[in-house]
């Protein structure tokens, strides 16, 4: 079998890159739903339907495990698909299939706690010592997944989200880096104004932002730790595959890149990040 990696566009390549490093012999198929990107301003129903279609496409390619390398899809659609669609679909096709996300590994990395751990809720007021900023798409911010799930586990961490409506599209469309830097500086400033100071740590809660992580780092106060989703996801997938030997990630080192959009080469921002040319086939 292969491992499927899904995103609305090129952002998931940041996660994919790390997965390929971690599992060099595994066979991977990456699917970018560029015909429908960006997802971040879409309704919940649209995101659920598009994510489901992406998973089906990757299952049809022979993937048994699909990693949603997209915060928007993972935070809006994943639980719903796992609860209401995947069990019936597995029975229909008669295969063991699973869909994993990137929000759970990120929350584990941000809290330093395993997902199963939910803090005992006490009545007393806990002082919020650690301020965590989350930069994300509007749909991820609206889901409040980071606020809700981190608060369940670490009541000493206060989460503030900053929706960045234009950023994934700018990265997808190869906007000049100077323009992307200005937009990022604006969001960093807006978040600091809302909190009253800069966050102590930050999550780049949209996989597209990892491509310009250096611009976030430059806009935040020097040394602000960034919680890295690609590392957190690779760690989580390694643990998952160790617990589930029935999922064999393959041994051929296959790498295929599919897009629902324009096939061919990807933009120079992406190629620079990837470290070479990338050729996408039509999905």
Cite the active site residues.
70, 206
Candidate list 34, 51, 72, 143; residue touching ligand DGL; CB under 6 A: 72
Axis-axis angle for helices 86-93, 44-60 (nearest 10)? 20
Contacts of 20 (CB under 8 A, 6+ apart): 26, 28, 255
Least distance from ligand DGL to the Cβ atom of residue 172, Å: 8
SS (H, E, C) 114-170: CCCCCCCCCCCCCCCCEEEEEEECHHHHHHCHHHHHHHHHCCCEEEEEEECCCHHHH
Task: Determine if 164 is a binding residue for ligand DGL (CB under 6 A).
Answer: no
Does the protein bind ligand DGL through residue 233 (CB under 6 A)? Answer: no
Contacting ligand DGL within 84-143 (CB under 6 A): 137, 140
97, 101, 34: which is closest to 67 by C-alpha? 101
Pick the closer one to ligand DGL by CB: 41 or 62: 41
Q: Which residues pair with 161 in a beta bridge?
A: 134
14 is an interface residue for ligand DGL by CB under 6 A: no
Interface residues for ligand DGL in 205-224 (CB under 6 A)?
A: 206-208
Q: Which is nearer to ligand DGL, 77 or 158 (CB)?
A: 77
Contacting ligand DGL (CB under 6 A), which of 8, 34, 51, 161? 8
DSSP 8-class letter at 78: I
Q: Which one-letter DSSP state was computed for residue 277?
A: -
The CB-of-273 to ligand DGL minimum distance in angstroms stands at 13
Q: Which two tokens stand for residue 125?
A: 């007021």
List the structure tokens of 118.
């939910």
Closest CA to 30 of 282, 266, 259, 205: 259
11 binds ligand DGL (CB under 6 A): yes
Which range touches ligand DGL (CB under 6 A), out of 85-93, 118-126, 204-212, 251-259? Answer: 204-212
CA atoms within 13 A on the CB side of 174: 9
Does position 162 bind ligand DGL by CB under 6 A? no
**Of 47 and 219, CB closest to ligand DGL:** 47
Known binding site: residues? 7-8, 39-40, 71-72, 207-208
Interface residue list for ligand DGL (CB under 6 A): 7-9, 11, 37-40, 70-72, 137, 140, 168, 206-208
């Amino acid at each position: 079998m292969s491992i499927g990696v899904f995103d609305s566009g090129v952002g998931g390549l940041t996660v994919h890159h790390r997965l390929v490093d971690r599992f060099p012999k595994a066979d991977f198929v990456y699917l970018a739903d560029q015909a429908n990107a960006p997802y971040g301003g879409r309704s919940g129903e649209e995101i659920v339907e598009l994510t489901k279609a992406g998973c089906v496409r990757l299952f049809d390619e022979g993937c048994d495990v699909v990693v949603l390398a997209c915060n928007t899809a993972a935070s809006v659609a994943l639980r719903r698909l796992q609860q209401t669609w995947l069990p019936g679909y597995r029975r229909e096709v008669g295969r063991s299939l699973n869909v994993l996300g990137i929000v759970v590994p990120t929350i584990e990395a941000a809290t330093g706690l395993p997902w199963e751990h939910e803090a005992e809720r006490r009545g007393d007021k806990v002082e919020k010592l650690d301020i965590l900023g989350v930069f994300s798409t509007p749909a991820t911010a609206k889901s409040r997944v980071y606020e809700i799930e981190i608060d369940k586990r670490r009541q000493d961490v206060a989460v503030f989200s900053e929706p960045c409506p234009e950023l994934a599209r700018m990265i997808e469309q190869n906007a000049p880096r100077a323009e992307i830097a200005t937009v990022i500086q604006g969001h960093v400033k807006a978040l600091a104004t809302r909190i009253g100071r800069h966050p102590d740590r930050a999550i780049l809660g949209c996989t597209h932002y990892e491509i310009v992580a250096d611009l976030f780092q430059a806009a935040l106060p020097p040394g602000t730790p960034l919680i890295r989703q690609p590392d957190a996801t690779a760690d989580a997938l390694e643990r998952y595959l160790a617990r589930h030997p029935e999922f064999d990630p393959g041994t051929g080192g296959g790498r295929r890149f599919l897009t629902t959009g324009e096939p061919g080469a990807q933009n120079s921002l992406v190629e620079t990040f990837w470290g070479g040319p990338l050729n996408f086939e039509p999905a």
